[in-house]
Structure 1
Amino acid sequence: MKSLHARQAPLADTGYQLAVLSQAEAAGAHFPAFAHKLRESGLLPLRPTGLAVMQINVGKMCNQTCRHCHVDAGPDRTEIMTRETMQLCLDALAQTDIPVVDLTGGAPEMNPDFRWLVEQISALGRETIVRCNLTIIVANKKYHDLPEFFAQHRVRVVSSLPHFSAGRTDAQRGEGVFERSIRALKMLNAVGYGVEGSGLSLDLVYNPAGAFMPGSQASLEREFKQRLGREYGIVFNSLLTITNLPVSRFMEYLLETGNYESYMEKLIAAYNPVAAANVMCRSTLSIGWDGQLYDCDFNQQLDLLVASTAPQHIRDFNEAALSERSIVINQHCYGCTAGAGSSCGGATT
């Protein structure tokens, strides 16, 4: 296994990705299949409850290379959604009552048509979520006005901040990231984000730094608010805890440190049928940078397209067929059903 720190080639390298997955399968051959757990819970086959969120990955280019990134994003990634594919997404959205569009990446703001897409979604009267890594706001002067642009279009900003200390944040996301994140948060606060009564939502995302599950979302939120408020004068709305799934860079980390089996055992032991009933794939459609359709962002990174009985590209969008599909599952799904559950919106129970 190549070193996580030395390796620069993206996991889109199919041969390498298959090798990683084969090693994981061999290490976890004795684990019960996730489908067995769903059957015991009366949830197999897993089906959608309705389409409430259209999550669009507009590209894998990013100004950071975070240790836990399940997208394997970075400055060297060239996958980018074209305006033509964005228009297909908008055409599909216009056919539906889907209320929320969730824009992700990479750093979605680095797509040259990002602002155009936000404007078009806003014109359709839908809520826009942007998963901003914060540092992009201060990375280059052409991004310095992002807080004002977000506020103009009432964008809900969701940003990763692994910890309220520089040491733990920089260890996970890179040297100097914490300081730049604090600067960006202050810029967002200055235009009203996170400020009570402003109507501008700013949420932070917490991912554990190692092979363990996140603690109580409510307790962590209180601690983050106290520390960031007291030490930096920063306010925000909610903290969202997300369990790291054994995918991409985090999978590499688990395998090379010998933590894969013990981590999977933790997830399986913490399986929660209530969380399983509330998994985000039941209400979310994930769209890849090239327009291909997935049940969730994690399946997208594993090239697990939606079931063949449903349209597999946004050009063929059919809400009725997608609403009746069987959701594609695998062992990584244990991460979303452990403990209080995990989703792009935080804990699910």
Structure 2
Amino acid sequence: MIPDFKYFVRRLKALTPARHIIDRCNLTILLEPGFEDYAQFLAQNEIEIIASMPCYSPENVNAQRGEGVFEGSIRGLQLLNSLGYGIEPALPLHLVYNPNGAFLPGPQAELEADYKRELHQHFGIVFNALYTITNLPVSRFASYLKNNGLLGDYMLLLNDAFNPATVQGLMCRNTINVSWRGEVFDCDFNQMLKLQWREGERALSLWDVDPADVENREILTADHCFGCTAGAGSSCGGALLS
């Protein structure tokens, strides 16, 4: 949780014209001591929620995220449903699927149908949409690939699955990433890799950037970018192509 999260949200909500706010929510934190009122805070401020849910079965989720994470995530989703999330038009609730291994996600529409059926049937949970996101070879996933001798094969998979039709919809073409300290990046993966915007030798923060100069700025790319262009593409809003 970033420092002063509630203060940040309140200041954004006070801006005119009104801003639409999306929270990339860790479901289990909603149950942690000191955060019990966060779900209600999000609902009161009509914050759209996107939450990670690697699978609809406890075995897969707990294997990927740790013992007890599935159960905590289910309780978090049930709490959000009780506040109207996934039900009221002003309270959208979306889930995110990442493959549990070195492979590309399946068709988004099919996975969404499976998630909705299983979560509603077994737990009474409803949500609006499922977003499939490709695992990019950075941070912990890159370490997993290296430790298991899979990095080369996975990079080959991403390269072979390159789809030029995805390029037009890439998030880095119309969205920037700003760290909580104001550092500016083309995307959150570039932030993980410390590929910060620069002007010569000077690293740029948000207050250094003139919006007029952003339009034709060259995007910083590296091998990990093939993850967003593989298959149906990948973004914070799920697959780029249906």
Does the Cα contact within 8 Å between 1:131 and 1:157 map onto a contact in 2?
A: yes
Tell me what 2:210 maps to.
318
> Are 1:327 and 2:219 matched, yes or no?
yes
Structure-1 residue corresponding to 2:24 = 131
Matched residues in 2 for 1:251 and 1:274: separation? 26
CA distance in 1, matches of 2:163, 2:14: 40
What letter is aligned with 1:326?
E
The alignment status of 1:212 with 2:103, answered yes or no, reads: yes
- 3-state SS of the aligned residue for 1:127? coil
- 2: CA distance, partners of 1:295 / 1:307: 11
Counterpart of 1:297 in structure 2 is 188
Q: 1:200 aligns with which of 71, 76, 91?
A: 91
Deviation at 1:333, TM superposition (A): 0.3
Letter in structure 2 aligned against 1:133: N
**Structure 1: which 5+ runs fail to align?**
1-109
**Residues in 2 aligned to 1:323 and 1:293: alpha-carbon distance in whole angstroms:** 14
Report what 2:127 is aligned to: 236
CA distance in 2 between partners of 1:206 and 1:267 (Å)? 18
CA shift for structure 1 position 246 = 0.5
Superposed, 1:26-105 pairs within 5 Å as none
- The counterpart of 1:336, out of the listed 218, 228, 236, is 228
Residues 94-117 of structure 1: per-residue CA shift (max 9 Å, x gap): xxxxxxxxxxxxxxxx33410010
Q: Cα distance, 1:307 vs. partner?
A: 4.9
Could you tell me which amino acid in structure 2 is paired with residue 288 of structure 1?
A: S
Greater relative CO, 1 or 2 (CA 8 Å, sep 6+) = 1
Q: Aligned to 1:270, which of 161, 166, 171?
A: 161
Q: 2:148 corresponds to which residue?
A: 257
Unmatched 5+ residue regions in structure 2? none
1:143 maps onto 2:52 in alignment: no
User: 2:119 aligns to what SS in structure 1?
Assistant: helix
Backbone CA RMSD of aligned residues: 1.4
The alignment status of 1:222 with 2:113, answered yes or no, reads: yes
Q: CA deviation at 1:212?
A: 0.4
Measured against aligned partners, the alpha-carbon deviations of 1:236-267 in whole angstroms (never above 9, x if no partner) come to 00000100000011001111101111111111
How many pairs align? 238
1:311·1:321 contact (CA, 8 Å) conserved in 2? no
Aligned to 1:104: none
SS of match in other structure, 2:214: helix
How much has 1:289 moved relative to structure 2? 2.7
Report the secondary structure of 1:164's partner residue.
Answer: coil
Amino acid at match of 2:143: E
- The DSSP-based 3-state class of the residue aligned with 1:304 is coil
TM value normalised by structure 2: 0.95
Contact 2:2 2:180 in 1 (8 A): no
- What CA distance in whole angstroms lies between the structure 1 residues aligned with 2:32 and 2:203? 38
- Poorly superposed stretches of 4+, deviation over 2 Å: 306-311
CA distance in 2, matches of 1:240, 1:222: 12
Structure 1: distance between partners of 2:135 and 2:198: 24
